[in-house]
Amino acid sequence: MALSAQMIVVKEVVQGPGTIPGCGRVRLHIQFPEDDAWVEVFRHFSDDLPAHILRPAYWNTSPTNRHRGYRCIVGQKVYLFEFINDAWYFIEQHFDADLEQHIFHTRNSLRIDHENDLGLGWWLPEDKENPERLPPMTVPVPVEERSIEKEPLEHPEEDVTFTYPSDPVEELTEAFRHLTPIHTDLALVEPITPTETPVVPVPFAPSMSPPAPMATVPLSGALKGTTPTVFTGERAESAQFLWEFHLYHLLNRNHELVQNPFL
């Protein structure tokens, strides 16, 4: 099946609360054709969506940035997603041999409704960071027509790399590195020699040491959550298994069977 589409992508860099000056937040627009044809998708180049829109979705990166973008686990499988036109879309990918790179595409029928069972969010009218309330800083970027002789992938992405939140102190330090401090080094002041006999303070009664904290009582009963899928030894399934195992362990960290697995 040939995939051919001519489209206009509007990449608006919106400056608002929570963004570093000069960077802003990217907002993707696609003019979908009426015949539900496949169109190419230019993905977010950084994780700039707030938590109430992401919810179960997460940002994924790889050492080569080949598979960076938003993903979500649906039915024990990882799928590629993109936030376009104030809505989430399933997206497919394939490798273009001529361009020697992965191409992403979607169509209007793959749009996810605002009220969905996946728990994915969207911009609310009252959000201060809503791009609808902020002026754009760039103009539309035309994309030339390209025909792709390739079937879209039927399987979800397999090489999953999980990322963890970075250190906020390090991010703030880098963001304010070029700013001028509000004060310089304070000059040392010579200590003042007392001229009168100092008043000897009345000693206080020794304070009582606080009682020792009570040890956490292990919980019993049924374990919470879904048992991780049995690991078959396949390398492609290792990241998914580790994610399920860590989540299961976190939910049951106070359970007696987790604290003492030899019971």
Higher pLDDT, 160 or 226: 226
| Contact indicator for 239, 260 with CB cutoff of 8 Å | no
Q: What is the largest CA-CA distance in the chain?
A: 97
Classify each residue of 178-211 as buried b or exposed e, where b means 16 or more C-beta atoms within 10 Å of its C-beta.
eeeeeeeeeeeeeeeeeeeeeeeeeeeeeeeeee
pTM listed for this prediction: 0.46
Straight-line distance from the first to the last Cα atom of the chain, in angstroms, rounded to the nearest whole number? 58
What residue ranges do the domains of the chain occupy?
2-149, 218-263
> pLDDT tens across 103-153, in order?
889 999 999 999 998 999 998 888 887 777 766 554 444 454 554 444 444
> pLDDT tens across 152-204, in order?
444 444 444 333 334 434 443 444 344 433 333 434 445 555 555 666 666 65
Antiparallel, parallel or unpaired: β 58-60 and 111-112: unpaired
